[in-house]
């Protein structure tokens, strides 16, 4: 199992698929999942001759579960250390939800010397939590309820989220996949309780405004206009105004889980963006 050890002695699991000499595409997953949530994309791009790197964030999946460091700065630093470990260059970074924040913070902290393009899908930037300056955001009470549910009955909570808003299965005439629900639950149950709890603050309260302004590379923003988890008006529609070279594509009726529900379309859009 490929792992590397960070400077604070945390073991990070990663997949390294495809052509080792091909163009690099990295994938950063959402909360509370793992690199497995990118399987449809990882298989596709590895089959197309790309080198695919997908890691499990600290506290998640097969990575170690430290008590400390479950914050966006450390997530970004862990990923940068992986870039250094594998000497990745000219990478296209792809991030979904919390992973989109990770990509933005990576660039904000470490620049673009190793990155040529980025894709943000259903991503949390600029900032999720509601405030006077961000009235379109989600009330803090919602995230407090997440934390309470994690401590009270994480297993049931991790069934409720994918059964409803994450995949959009609570919408009329939705084609519900029990397999997707169980996969989400299975991945979620591998995250440490502390990692899951802390990451709620990381994805909801981190302000990525300055990070987005520093992303002086082409950035493709993909977002569904029926995203019930990261509403488009509070995220993509604001992010696109901050990105120096951003392009926004809206998926009509698209849910939060675009890479899972519309994998062929997402793969096609990313591929075209990389090749452009």
Say whether the peptide bond before residue 32 is cis (omega within 30 degrees of 0).
yes
Contact status, residue 116 vs residue 90, Cβ threshold 8 Å: yes
State the first-to-last Cα distance of the chain, in angstroms, to the nearest integer.
Answer: 34
- Catalytic annotation, pick one of 29, 55, 223, 256: 256
What CATH number is associated with residue 7?
3.40.50.1820
- Catalytic annotation, pick one of 56, 211, 227, 269: 227
Query: In whole angstroms, what is the distance from residue 64 CA to residue 152 CA?
Result: 23
Sequence-distant (≥ 6) Cβ neighbours of residue 216 within 8 angstroms: 112, 244, 245
pLDDT, tens digit, 9 for 90 and up, residues 194-236: 999 999 999 999 999 999 999 999 999 999 999 999 999 999 9
Query: Counting runs of H as helices and runs of E as strands, what totals does the chain give?
Result: 10, 8
Catalytic (active site) residue 256: yes
1 — pLDDT class (breaks 50, 70, 90): confident
pTM, 2 dp: 0.97
Catalytic (active site) residue 110: no
Contact status, residue 185 vs residue 163, Cβ threshold 8 Å: no
Catalytic (active site) residue 227: yes
Query: In whole angstroms, what is the distance from residue 55 CA to residue 28 CA?
Result: 7
Domain count, the chain: 1
**Host domain of residue 205:** 3-275
Report the share of the chain in percent with pLDDT over 70: 100
Contact status, residue 10 vs residue 66, Cβ threshold 8 Å: yes
Query: In whole angstroms, what is the distance from residue 55 CA to residue 35 CA?
Result: 5
Query: In whole angstroms, what is the distance from residue 252 CA to residue 38 CA?
Result: 22
Task: Tell me if residue 75 falls in helix, strand or coil.
Answer: helix
- Catalytic annotation, pick one of 97, 192, 204, 235: 97
Kindly tell me if the per-residue pLDDT of 9 is higher than 90.
yes
Task: Tell me if residue 186 falls in helix, strand or coil.
Answer: helix
Kindly tell me if the per-residue pLDDT of 116 is higher than 90.
yes
Nearest CA to 102 among 134, 80, 130?
80
Q: Where are the beta strands (DSSP E) in the chain?
A: 3-5, 11-18, 24-28, 51-55, 91-96, 115-121, 219-224, 246-251
């Amino acid at each position: 199992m490929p792992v590397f050890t960070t400077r604070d002695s945390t073991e990070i699991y990663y997949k390294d698929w495809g052509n080792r000499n091909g163009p690099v595409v990295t994938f950063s997953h959402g909360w509370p999942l793992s690199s497995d949530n990118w399987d449809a994309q990882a298989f596709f791009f590895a089959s197309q001759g790309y080198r695919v790197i997908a890691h499990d964030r600290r506290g998640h999946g097969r990575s170690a579960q430290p008590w400390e460091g479950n914050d966006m700065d450390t997530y970004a630093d862990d990923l940068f250390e992986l870039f250094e470990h594998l000497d990745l260059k000219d990478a296209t970074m792809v991030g979904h939800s919390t992973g989109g924040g990770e990509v933005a913070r990576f660039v904000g902290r470490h620049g673009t010397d190793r990155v040529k393009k980025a894709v943000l899908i259903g991503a949390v930037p600029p900032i999720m939590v509601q405030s006077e300056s961000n009235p379109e955001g989600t009330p803090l009470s919602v995230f407090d309820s997440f934390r309470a549910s994690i401590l009270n009955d994480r297993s049931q909570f991790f069934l409720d989220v994918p059964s409803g808003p994450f995949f959009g299965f609570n919408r009329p005439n939705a084609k519900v996949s029990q397999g997707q629900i169980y996969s989400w639950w299975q991945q979620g149950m591998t995250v440490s309780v502390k990692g899951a709890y802390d990451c709620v603050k990381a994805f909801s309260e981190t302000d990525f405004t300055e990070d987005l302004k520093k992303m002086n590379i082409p950035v493709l923003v993909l977002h569904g206009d029926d995203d019930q988890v990261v509403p488009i008006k509070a995220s993509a529609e604001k992010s696109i105004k901050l990105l120096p070279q951003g392009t926004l594509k809206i998926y009509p009726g698209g849910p939060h889980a675009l890479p899972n529900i519309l994998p062929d379309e997402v793969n096609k859009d990313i591929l075209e963006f990389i090749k452009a």
